[in-house]
Structure 1
Amino acid sequence: MPTRGGQLTVVPPSSEPEDELSRMLDRALFGGAPSPELRPVRVASAVDEVSDRLLTAIAVGDFLPGERLPVERELTRLLGVSRPTVREAVGRLQVLGVVEIRRGRSGGTFVRESWTESSAAAVRRTLLPRWEQLEQLFDLRGLVEGMVAATAARRRRPADLDPMRQALAAHLSARTPREEQAADSAFHRSICEATHNPQIVMLSRDLLTRISLGFPVEPWGKGERSHHHRAGLGHTALYEAIAAGEPERAEEIARDHFTISADMIRDVLARVQGVEPS
């Protein structure tokens, strides 16, 4: 990504988000080829790409310190590679000290550090070639999640508000980034379910997966309290709009709220570029 005067320069959003939205809707409703952003990693450098993608996912907070990575079988499915490829890639992260492998019934691969010297190069290799598409996806996600919130405000039933309230309370009282992330996921899942349309749920999950490099997990940065506070305010306002049955207000709040994840990813890229985010 180029810089100018020490400031991060980002690619402007696509000028035709409706076209992309239409393609996304067609794929969600009727199926079709997978998105090019999510095609299986290139065989010639599969281990390198899987290692870089995992390092980047950890750097942007898809997986937080102390959290267990998806099991080997799930990683092969998400990334479209073989088990030996995943095993070797995870082994590289272990050598770097980013993860530790624990044996036994409660074992697995656990994140140790959110950032190492090796992460910067991996983040650049992973994000920079995809950056124009990511900016378009950030824009598209705001449009889609605005539609999701508006639909939930129109269709929600009294019973749909209970899980929203519970997830909102859990998020506001969370004490750790992992608790925040779990409550955030539950809150947005409850909004999707309030639309009473499984295809909308699928579309929202697909966009999240594409933005998060193949993992259906919300990026959570480094757990900065400013992001948590901003998310809490957004959740509260969004719940109130949906509960009041105000679709226009819910849509506006949701579109602004979903810029938080994009800002977190921009912050990480700015850091590895040696540029302070504006």
Structure 2
Amino acid sequence: MGVLKKAKQHSLVADVVSQVEETILSRRIKPGERLPASRDLQSILGASLGTIREAVAILEQKGLVEVKKGAKGGIFVKEASTDSVSEGLGLLIRQLSISYEELAEFRQVNEAAVMRLVARRASDDELSALDDYMDDFRRALNLGDQGWKHFLATEVNLRKHLIELTKNRTYNAVLRPIHDNIMAYTDKLLPGEKRLVREAFTDWESIIEALKKRDGDTAADITSDHIGRFLNHVKE
């Protein structure tokens, strides 16, 4: 495997990790392909078997490789995913290390941008299909005081769907993990008042109508106001 060379002595584990990581990220070894066996890596890199195993464990933690057992096992390059981002952000949110204020500020800017992209890029059929979420919102409203959690779950699913409609993998990588974990705030921060549910319903009705008219600026403004207004409710 000619792309790898003898590891530097000052930090063998870090050097092995760095070399293999660069080889993977430069796609000289592609997702799904098998790396040389640990003993072969030991010979190629001039490191001990313990160093190789420690480096592989770090690469596995980073989500770059997967170690499979058995006759067809080995060290395989993993497909890139947002799982590690989602897990890390999820821990921060569940521990409330990220304040709701910080999260809202970030969302106002980026989710407004999502609306503008959706208005430009989604097909007519994709925009029309957003009405299905309004039907789900109505069902949640009919549950009365118990409907808030159902309403919020629908809102989370809608936001993740809109992120997909941007057809931009960066937004998907950064914003989707937020909505995968935002339910961690419900018990501590979200009041179950009917007034808030009604306000949110009206906002989404207006947002979807604006998107169907390809009016991304209006959808963006309502989205930003919606997030900011709810932040004010939380502070009260």
TM-score (norm 2): 0.51
Say whether residues 1:197 and 2:168 are aligned partners.
yes
Shift of 1:196: 1.6
**Percent identical residues:** 18
Gaps in structure 1 of 5+ consecutive residues: 1-29, 31-73, 81-125, 210-214, 267-276
**Offset from partner CA, 1:1-26 (integer Å, 9 cap, x none):** xxxxxxxxxxxxxxxxxxxxxxxxxx
Say whether residues 1:151 and 2:122 are aligned partners.
no
Shift of 1:157: 0.5
Say whether residues 1:177 and 2:148 are aligned partners.
yes
Who wins on radius of gyration, i.e. which is larger? 2
**Offset from partner CA, 1:123-150 (integer Å, 9 cap, x none):** xxx76x865xx43432221011100111
Shift of 1:166: 0.5
**Matches of 2:87 and 2:159, distance apart in 1:** 24
Letter in 1 for 2:115: A
**Matches of 1:197 and 1:251, distance apart in 2:** 17
**Offset from partner CA, 1:166-198 (integer Å, 9 cap, x none):** 111211231222321222122222221221223
Q: Name the SS of the counterpart of 2:183 in structure 1.
A: coil
Shift of 1:77: 9.9
**Offset from partner CA, 1:237-267 (integer Å, 9 cap, x none):** 100111110111111111111224423542x
Gaps in structure 2 of 5+ consecutive residues: 1-24, 26-85
Tell whether the 8 Å contact from 2:116 to 2:217 is kept in structure 1 after alignment.
Answer: yes
Report what 2:73 is aligned to: none
- Sort the Cα spacing of 1:136 and 1:130 in 2 relative to 1 into closer, same or farther, 3 A: closer
Tell whether the 8 Å contact from 2:128 to 2:212 is kept in structure 1 after alignment.
Answer: no
Alignment of structure 1 residues 56-135 onto 2, 5 Å: 78-79=90-91, 131=99, 134-135=100-101
Alignment of structure 1 residues 123-272 onto 2, 5 Å: 131=99, 134-174=100-140, 175=143, 176-208=147-179, 215-217=181-183, 219-220=185-186, 221-266=190-235
**Offset from partner CA, 1:48-107 (integer Å, 9 cap, x none):** xxxxxxxxxxxxxxxxxxxxxxxxxx9999439xxxxxxxxxxxxxxxxxxxxxxxxxxx
**Matches of 2:88 and 2:109, distance apart in 1:** 31
Tell whether the 8 Å contact from 1:155 to 1:195 is kept in structure 2 after alignment.
Answer: yes
**Matches of 1:149 and 1:261, distance apart in 2:** 18
**Matches of 2:111 and 2:88, distance apart in 1:** 28
Alignment of structure 1 residues 5-16 onto 2, 5 Å: none
**Matches of 2:206 and 2:198, distance apart in 1:** 13
TM-score (norm 1): 0.44
Tell whether the 8 Å contact from 1:138 to 1:259 is kept in structure 2 after alignment.
Answer: yes
**Matches of 1:168 and 1:158, distance apart in 2:** 17
Between the two structures, name the one with larger relative contact order (CA 8 Å, sep ≥ 6): 1
Letter in 2 for 1:150: R
- Calculate the aligned-residue CA RMSD, in Å: 3.2
**Matches of 1:224 and 1:230, distance apart in 2:** 10
Greater percentage in helix: 2
Tell whether the 8 Å contact from 1:160 to 1:190 is kept in structure 2 after alignment.
Answer: no
Shift of 1:218: 7.2
Q: How many residues are treated as equivalent by the alignment?
A: 143
